[in-house]
Chain A
Amino acid sequence: MSSLLQMLKPKTKSQTTTMFAWALIAPAALVMFWIVLWPLYETFRLSFTNSNLGTLMGGADFVGWENYEKAIGGRKFPAIVTRTFYWMFLSVGFKMILGLIGATLLASNIRGRGIMRALVMPPWIVPIAIGCFGWVWLYNGHFGLLSNFIEMVGITDGPFSFLAYKQSAFYSAVVTDVWIGTPMVTLFFLAAMQGVPKDLYEAAYVDGASRWYRFRRITLPQIMPTIVSMALLSAIWTFNSFEIIWILTEGGPRGATTTLIIDTFKTAIFSYKFGAGATRAVLVVLILGVFSVIYLTVLGRLTKKYNYGGVQK
């Protein structure tokens, strides 16, 4: 490696550094080009063709914007996009709130918190597919715990299949998605809370600030960067969440849980319409890109305007 660098004869120290750094990054970057960027380009190209099972490896016809017109003009498309965003906001909102509550509780100075921190992690550790089997059984109308429970409490007077009705299937999927996503959010919020300098709390305590006040004016502003980035990451993952919905409902009943990503998978893999599927994939990327830019811009503005109150380090 060092002889390679000598051969390239860098002129200044900063050039050596740049070259060395890039040599270290190159392997990872190459994998990204190979497995992510090239397929992304290929998806883009496919989205303008009528590629299907017969023409997968070549020979598909270029059809221009036809796929896009069909996808966006489709009867179900507006509903699917709305549903996807509703799914994302609802699920991410609950993950953030539960994560914040959980992290605050787990950060408090009580006995047994080490064990309790470990006990909230399983939904994150266990493969998503396996956690979902548990939920499929929980949601079972005749034999599932939840149905039996609400029957005992008297909410229903017979079996209730959570995944069989449009509304309940959608919200059941949200609950499962929140269940899987919350532990990681909790862990990262907890991590951020541990990083808040202790003397800030002590100073506020000495000044007689209440616990709630300290949370609002010290903890929240201090961990705001983590909340902001976790919310964006979580939003992207939730938007793209596939396995949970697929295992619970496969997008049904009657499309009630079909989000964009499920629609993409169904079109591409189940109906073998690779071109039309690729179009939906491109739309997913575009929508997420626009959403991320808007999110970051709006937040940047808000941060400038309000400066998030509190104490700066």
Chain B
Amino acid sequence: MMDKYSLLHKIGIYASLALFILFMLLPFVEMFVASLRPIDHLFSRPKLEVGETMGFVDFMSRFWSDKMSFQAYRDMWVTVPQLPRYIFNSVFIASAVTLLSMCFIVPAAYAYARFNFRGKTTSLTLFLAVNMFSGAVLLIPLYKLLRSYGLLNTYWAMIIPGVAFLIPTGIWLLKSFLEKIPYELEEAAFVDGASRLYTLRRVILPLAVPGLIVVGVAMFIGAYAQQFLFAITFNQNRDYMPLPAGIFEFIGYQTVLWNEMMAASLVGVLPVLLIFLFMQKHLISGLTSGAVKE
């Protein structure tokens, strides 16, 4: 009864949510519409007579015309032949970053969730303080570091910094999941004579699967999102370029092929959108089931 709303209240909630979602989706709608419009239609303003002001019909004419088609989705592969490679690179780099970072995150998060030990609070605070140093602040020494290892212009140049800057957030997220697994289970395993590592592998990890999925997806999204800066500074090799950097090839000397660029962007984000669609139930319910509670 407490959660019952009056009709007016309901309309208010839906209307506000509609506005909120409109703001969040507007650029994507515009990208999609742009990708359907032929380039000459894209670069045409609604036709106005001299002295006439733009009306609603003129405005809406940008949203549909007989010439609209999915042609850009075919042409983009010709304009930028490397496009499939860029999309693959994006997915590959993000997957590698996710897998590698999880190898560091899982043991550390387990230690912070389960044990009381000297230096716990201090080291945890230090991990979180890493958030203060974005990649952009450390670019020069990172460049030197990668160069001295001969890693510039390789996949590693984008994977290594990606992993490093995701670890703190990952530890923080996973720790709060692991804290919710009842300690009694582990004690039972200890009593039965199981070693710590055995307990971690056979008792904790299976129970932690939902948490691992949430953190893994969050890491993948983060890794997919952060590629741009490292890609434009540490990598000149077009074979290893991820999509956000490669997409600049649609910007030519004469014109920008906006429709193909938008089409390529939308196709390029499909992998991460699909993962999100399949995982969103787990992700949202996992995050909202009290993960952030102290």
Q: Are A and B interaction partners?
A: yes
Structural contact, B291 and A119, CB atoms closer than 8 A: no
CB distance from B20 to the nearest CB of A (A): 5
B253 interfacial by beta-carbon distance below 8 Å: no
Q: Which of A31, A57, A123, A179 contacts B147 (CB 8 A)?
A: A57
A190 interfacial by beta-carbon distance below 8 Å: yes
Residues of A within 8 A of B233 (CB): 269
Residues of A within 8 A of B90 (CB): 127
Identify which of residues 54-76 in chain B touch chain A, using a CB-to-CB cut-off of 8 Å: 54-56, 58-59, 62
CB distance from A74 to the nearest CB of B (A): 19
What residues of chain A have their CB less than 8 Å away from a CB belonging to chain B? Answer: 1-2, 14, 17-18, 20-22, 24-25, 27-29, 31-32, 34-36, 38-40, 42-43, 46, 56-57, 98, 101-102, 105-106, 108-110, 114, 116-131, 133-135, 137-138, 142-145, 148-149, 151-152, 154, 157, 159, 179, 182-183, 187-188, 190-192, 194-195, 201-202, 205, 225-226, 233, 236-237, 240, 242-243, 261, 264-265, 268-269, 274, 277-278, 281, 284-285, 288-289, 292
Helix, strand, loop or mixed for chain B's interface?
helix
Identify which of residues 187-238 in chain B touch chain A, using a CB-to-CB cut-off of 8 Å: 195-197, 221, 224-229, 233
Residues of B within 8 A of A192 (CB): 292-293
B258 interfacial by beta-carbon distance below 8 Å: yes
Q: Which of A21, A110, A190 contacts B14 (CB 8 A)?
A: A110
Residues of B within 8 A of A157 (CB): 53
Find the residue from A14, A117, A205 having the highest chain B CB count within 10 A.
A117
Q: Assess A194 versus B288: contact at CB under 8 Å? Given A18-B117, A27-B107, A127-B227.
A: yes
**What 0/1 pattern do residues 99 to 123 of B give for CB contact below 8 A with A?**
0000111011011100111111001
Interface size of B in residues (CB-CB distance below 8 Å)? 110
Structural contact, B141 and A46, CB atoms closer than 8 A: yes
Q: Which of A17, A145, A277 contacts B30 (CB 8 A)?
A: A145
What residues of chain B have their CB less than 8 Å away from a CB belonging to chain A? Answer: 2-3, 5, 10, 13-14, 16-17, 20-21, 23-28, 30-31, 34, 42-46, 53-56, 58-59, 62, 90, 103-105, 107-108, 110-112, 115-120, 123, 126-127, 130-134, 136-145, 147-148, 160-161, 163-165, 167-168, 171, 195-197, 221, 224-229, 233, 243-245, 247, 258, 261-262, 265, 268-269, 272-273, 276-277, 280-281, 284, 287-294
Residues of B within 8 A of A154 (CB): 53
Q: Which of A1, A123, A130, A187 contacts B287 (CB 8 A)?
A: A187
How far is B229's CA from A240's CA once the two chains are assembled, in angstroms? 12
